[in-house]
Amino acid sequence: MFAISSRFSSYASLGKLTAILFLATASISPSIQANIEEQRLLFHEASRALELGHISQFNQLLKRLDDYPAQPYLEHDAFVHRVSKVKPQQAELFFRRFSDYPFVYHARGKWLSVLARRGDWENYLAFFDGRENTRLRCLSFQARLKLGRLEGLNDEIAKVWLHGYSQPSQCDPAFEHYLASHEAPEKVIWLRIEKAFKARRPNLARYLGKKLQPEERAVAETWYQAHRRPQRSLKKLADAADNERNRAIIVHAIDRLARKDSLKALEYWNLIRDQFEFSQQQIDQSQLRIALSAAYQHKPEARGLLSRLDPSSMNDQAYLWLARIQLRSSDWSGLKDTINQMPAHLQQENEWQYWLSRSLEADGQLVDSLNLLEQISHKSSYYGFLAADKLHREYHIEQENAASLAVDEEAFLTANPHLLRARELYFLDRLVDAKREWFQALRYLDQDGIKQAATLASKWKWHDSAIRTVAKTPHRSDYDLRFPMPYKQQVLESAQARELDPALIYGVMRRESLFDPLARSSVGALGLMQLMPSTARLVARSLGMKRPRKSDILRVENNIRFGTHYLKTVMNRFDNNVALAAAAYNAGPNNVRRWLPKESIMSADLWVETVPFTETRNYVQAVLAYSTVFDKSLGKNTLMSSRMGDIKTEY
């Protein structure tokens, strides 16, 4: 009769589905609950009828759902289904009726595309809402060109033109008009070429260069070659004329070369810098890029290069990397000076207060060191736990009971229709729509209302939204909301089977997906433990299982099984050192091997602090801290430092 959505695909019968819905609505009166369950089933049936083109059946079901909060989403689906045949009057009525619904924005975008295909430019401008979508903006430019509405048009086109990225083909007519009517077209072409090179879009820059006069076109080609082959180009540019364009090309080539080989870039910079009248900004920019690249590449010269930078040219990254280099070499005196010179917003972070305390300790200033550690140790965070371990203090993980807050669900949702619709869409497995409604609702709630919303999301087991929602409140100590433990049976079974710490599994899972079983990353990682399909397939093969499809990888039991198997693999590879295993889970074992200390054993806190990838460094710190919080819920008192064994030179 209807297709059970993927959220419930692991349940073999309608009876089990009803049981799940019952749990989700346990605080709702039985009669209302029964009605909601029936409406959800009818919604699925109507959606299926629309998919199959059974319009008469769809319309009958739509009438039966008149009082169902999510019913307008079926009307939206019907609108989109036949949008190519919709008349302007019908579209206007639809947008007016549902103006408060998030789907209107996206439906209007589809309608605008239809009007453009029809060439109905008058109505296109009537319906265009000034949105930032580049394709639709450029179509509005086309409409104005067709209708002769040119006043102020070039100013609007310029905002789209002056980007260093390729723009949709719908922009081409507007760009042609802009260049044809501009008093200095070569000037604006060069502005965009410069932005394209800065954005690392050399092919766009080369394409734009073809619009220049032959002499200028040759200069653009020189820049293109400097981008592609910086070292070879710098040899030639050393003998080039000293003019503004060549200086810009040289600075760009130095930047490109430094990203590959910082010391080679330094060699060329020292040879070439006095032959050209570089601006102070260009000098600072080049020297900063060389110094930072040397730091990223772990070159011994990086410390000196960063230390010699003019303080006025130092950015946050320069201070951070100088501090990390001093950390890695245990230069406590230099570290203390660098921290004291940092901008206030960096200096006051727990991270650098912790390391300042360590540098004070090394300098014999024990009282000041202990005072700083004392202040940090009250934080339930990575650095707070490190400080508490140093002081041999208990962690401050005291539960605030917002999650047990009594919420009258019916009354609260009746007063907040966006949240009511979000709940229904969540249980209908329309997660994108559900999140749009949910976060639109939060804009209208006070702090107490947001807290109640987070409590309800947690009760519905919509954990990722609960976690994101409570993060918008001061209730950082509501660990029941921020650190739930779903899928406990599967996690504990996998932990036991693979001799893994369940707190660590939960720490990885929370960092990876916020417990969203259907999470998909921009690079294609899937599910609770964010497995790349290639990794999941390798694991499945090693377990003697058939090649899994993406839908198989998303199934909770498979995702936990594959993810914990891979986690155990990297734990074994790095002698059960959690810091290294977490880094390997995030960035791959090969990167971790490259980051190992070269000469002698290093303490884990120092190693973590100097991981080159910011994402991986933050990831490892989060997994360690989260695991510590989950320990508390599991009734354990594991020290975070016990998971951070010293880092050896090889594994």
Active site residues: 512
Q: Give the dihedral of Cα atoms 405, 406, 411, 412; nearest 10 deg.
A: 10
Count of Cβ atoms closer than 10 Å to residue 2 Cβ: 15
Half-sphere exposure of 297 (CA within 13 A, CB side): 20
Whole-angstrom distance, CA of residue 321 vs CA of residue 332:
14
User: Amino acid letter at 411?
Assistant: A
Whole-angstrom distance, CA of residue 44 vs CA of residue 48:
6
Q: Would the CA dihedral through 500, 503, 508, 512 be positive or negative?
A: positive
Round to the nearest angstrom and report the end-to-end CA distance of the chain.
57
φ, ψ of residue 520 to 5 degrees: the values are -135, 125
Whole-angstrom distance, CA of residue 234 vs CA of residue 322:
28
Burial of 570 (0-12, 13-18, 19+ CB in 10 A): buried
Which residue is it, tokens 């090693």?
542
Helix (H, G, I), strand (E, B) or coil at 520: strand
CB 128 within 8 A of CB 144: no
CB 407 within 8 A of CB 448: no
Q: Would the CA dihedral through 627, 633, 634, 638 be positive or negative?
A: positive
φ, ψ of residue 602 to 5 degrees: the values are -130, 140
Whole-angstrom distance, CA of residue 214 vs CA of residue 192:
18
Q: What angle do CA 578, 582, 583 make, to 5 degrees?
A: 120
Count of Cβ atoms closer than 10 Å to residue 334 Cβ: 18
Whole-angstrom distance, CA of residue 211 vs CA of residue 206:
9
Nearest residue to 102 (alpha-carbon basis) of 453, 443, 440: 440
CB 286 within 8 A of CB 254: yes
State which H helix or E strand residue 509 sits in: helix 502-513
436 Cβ neighbours under 8 A, 6+ residues apart: 102, 103
CB 247 within 8 A of CB 286: no
532-546 burial, b at 16+ Cβ within 10 Å, e below that, comes to ebebbbebbeeeeee
Distance of CA 61 to the CA centre of its chain: 40
Number of H helices, E strands in the chain: 39, 0
Distance of CA 145 to the CA centre of its chain: 38
Whole-angstrom distance, CA of residue 302 vs CA of residue 262:
9
Whole-angstrom distance, CA of residue 359 vs CA of residue 349:
15
DSSP 3-state helix, strand, coil percentages of the chain (rounded to 5)?
Answer: 70, 0, 30
- In the structure encoding, which two tokens stand for residue 245, read together? 């364009």
